[in-house]
Amino acid sequence: MYDSGKIITGLIIFVVLAFFPVLYQTIVVGEGSVVPEPLLTETAKKAGVCIETKEFMKTQHMKLLDQWRNEVVRDGERYYTSSNGKEHYKSLQTTCMDCHYNKVDFCDRCHNYMGVTPICWDCHIEPKEYK
Ligand code: HEC
Ligand code: HEC
Ligand code: HEC
């Protein structure tokens, strides 16, 4: 015969264990400390690669943008050849935001988490958010 008491106890233990990571994350750690995952748009997914490697972009995108701006504004240099040989038009709006047009779910996700607020959008036009 089945011992329903043991089965139920077993089920409860199983459920608690199975959801432990979620419970721990929400109750003990708190939502705020979950490192956000920047979302890729369909355009970005299709392209598969960024201007440079993901690791490079993660840590150097601000420097790359700064470099692009200086070269465009001071020298009128409009094309960037990435390390894989591909040419890119040096533009925040026309190039970066063409793939990453989900600013809120991409750029802002990281920036809010890190507490940085780039002022670029005071002058540069924000992409119209997809939904
Ligand atoms: C052709 C489409 C395309 C363009 C243009 C593009 N990206 Fe990306 N970007 C991607 C893709 C795809 C990834 C993910 C790459 C991977 O997973 O290897 C990515 C990754 C990144 C990451 C790292 C995200 C992470 O999860 O760590 C940053 C930051 C980034 N891009 C910023 C930029 C900036 C800034 C520009 C303009 C200078 C730019 N991208 C231009 C497609 C693009
Ligand atoms: C993987 C996380 C991540 C993503 C995605 C990301 N950023 Fe950043 N960004 C950072 C971090 C972290 C810093 C701050 C670096 C520092 O303070 O040294 C930063 C800084 C910057 C800065 C310099 C800000 C300043 O005030 O000096 C610019 C400009 C910038 N990001 C643009 C972008 C744009 C545009 C996108 C979307 C296309 C983007 N970032 C996506 C993490 C990210
Ligand atoms: C005070 C207004 C202003 C602010 C703030 C600003 N820019 Fe610009 N930016 C300009 C102007 C004007 C140009 C010249 C446009 C041109 O020649 O196409 C430019 C050009 C650029 C270019 C090259 C051309 C292009 O189409 O993108 C890049 C890259 C750039 N800015 C990046 C940035 C980044 C990154 C930030 C934030 C850290 C920023 N800018 C903040 C006004 C501004």
Indicate the residue type of 76: G
Across the range 36-53, mean pLDDT stands at: 97
- Which ligand 3 atom is the nearest neighbour of the CA of 68? 29
Read off the pLDDT band of 28 (50, 70, 90).
very low
Instruction: Report pLDDT for 68.
Output: 98
Mutate to test the pocket of ligand 1, among 40, 69, 94, 99 (most ligand atoms within 8 A of CB): 99
Distance CA 54, CA 58 (A): 6
How far is the CA of 53 from the CAs of 47, 49, 82, in angstroms?
Answer: 13, 7, 10
51 Cβ contact partners less than 8 Å away, ≥ 6 residues apart: 57, 64, 80, 82, 88, 95
Mean pLDDT of the chain: 87
C-alpha torsion 106→112→116→120, nearest 10: 50
